[in-house]
Amino acid sequence: MPEKEKKMIGFKCKKCDRINYPKRTRCLSCKGMEFEEVELGKECELVTYTQIYNPPAGYKGDPPLMLGMVKFPNGVLGMGQLAIDHPKDLKLGAKLRPIWGMLREIGGKEVFGFKFELAKKSKT
């Protein structure tokens, strides 16, 4: 799948409808084992964030590492790096969207996943 089309996926329990994210073997609410893949959303909002000045070994960017917790319209929360240029744009409630990218190295190998960028880029 082209990277632009990658979607953040949650796992909706077929028994109780709870959307499990991240994926697990049995549903957290009802122990159901059958799930339907659902898109978490194209947009989300920033719930809380931090800028980490002492990132872990394996993170290849310059500190600080911006990290945030986001909430999708369906109530599901996620965590990830914030691809935001200006700390002034770090505001609780900021509208974000998931984008695919390189996160860090683990055991010398690059690991990819979703980060979050501003839904509307601010003018510099």
Q: Where do contacts with another protein occur on this chain (CB under 8 A)?
A: 21-23, 28, 47-59, 64-65, 67-69, 77-81, 92, 103-104, 106, 111, 113
Rounded-to-integer distance, Cα 36 and Cα 76, Å: 15
Reading across the β-sheet that carries 19-20, which strands appear in turn? Answer: 19-20, 9-13, 35-39
* Least distance (Å) between residue 39 CB and another protein: 17
Rounded-to-integer distance, Cα 115 and Cα 98, Å: 6
Q: Which CB sits closer to another protein, 32 or 113?
A: 113
* Least distance (Å) between residue 33 CB and another protein: 18
Q: Which CB sits closer to another protein, 54 or 123?
A: 54
| Secondary structure class of 108 (helix, strand, coil) | coil
* Least distance (Å) between residue 109 CB and another protein: 11
What's the token pair of residue 25?
Answer: 């073997």
